[in-house]
Structure 1
Amino acid sequence: MGHGCCCDARQKVRVVDVDEGGAFAGFLYRCLASMPLRRYRSRLEYLERATADGFRKRLLIFDGSVVGQIEYAPARFSGYPIRGDDVVVMNCVWVLRRAKGRGFGKMLVEDMVRSEGDATGFATIALEDHWSPWFKRSHIEKLGFKPVDEIRVRHKAKHQEHAFSIWLMWMPVKEKASPPKWDKENLLEGVTFCLAHPLYRPQTWKGDILEMK
Structure 2
Amino acid sequence: MSASQIRIVDITKEVKYEKYLYRCLAGPPSKRYKKRIKYLEKAIPKGFHKKLLIANKKVVGTIEYAPSEASYYPIVGDNVTVMNCIWVLRKAKGHDYGRLLVRNMINSEKDSSGFATIALENHWSPWFKRWQMETLGFKPLESIKVMHKSKYEGQIFGIYLMWMPNISKSKPPTWNIHELLEGITCCIVHPLYHPQTFEPKQILEKHEN
- The interval holding the TM-score normalised by the smaller chain is over 0.9
Q: Give the deviation of 1:20 after TM superposition.
A: 6.5
Residue 98 of structure 1 is matched in structure 2 by 91
**Percent of residue pairs bearing the same amino acid type:** 53
- Pairing of 1:23-102 with structure 2 (within 5 A): 23-102=16-95
Bigger shift: 17-26 or 160-169?
A: 17-26
- Count residues in correspondence: 206
Q: Tell me if 1:123 matches 2:113.
A: no
* Aligned-partner Cα distance in 2 for 1:182–1:48: 23
Residue 143 of structure 2 is matched in structure 1 by 150
Whichever residue aligns with residue 175 of structure 2, its letter is W
Gaps of 5+ in 1: 1-7
* Aligned-partner Cα distance in 2 for 1:53–1:102: 32
* Aligned-partner Cα distance in 1 for 2:55–2:186: 26
Q: Give the deviation of 1:33 after TM superposition.
A: 2.8
Residue 184 of structure 2 is matched in structure 1 by 191
Residue 17 of structure 1 is matched in structure 2 by 10
Q: Give the deviation of 1:114 after TM superposition.
A: 0.3
Helix, strand or coil at the partner of 1:23: helix
Residue 205 of structure 2 is matched in structure 1 by 211
* Aligned-partner Cα distance in 1 for 2:22–2:103: 24
Contact 1:20 1:28 in 2 (8 A): no
Q: Give the deviation of 1:9 after TM superposition.
A: 4.6
Query: Deviations 1:42-83 (Å, cap 9, x if unpaired)?
Result: 101110110111000000001110000000000000010001
Gaps of 5+ in 2: none
Q: Give the deviation of 1:21 after TM superposition.
A: 6.4
* Aligned-partner Cα distance in 1 for 2:96–2:160: 23
Query: Deviations 1:132-181 (Å, cap 9, x if unpaired)?
Result: 00000000000000000101000001101211000000000101110000
Residue 172 of structure 1 is matched in structure 2 by 165
* Aligned-partner Cα distance in 2 for 1:133–1:208: 23
Residue 3 of structure 1 is matched in structure 2 by none
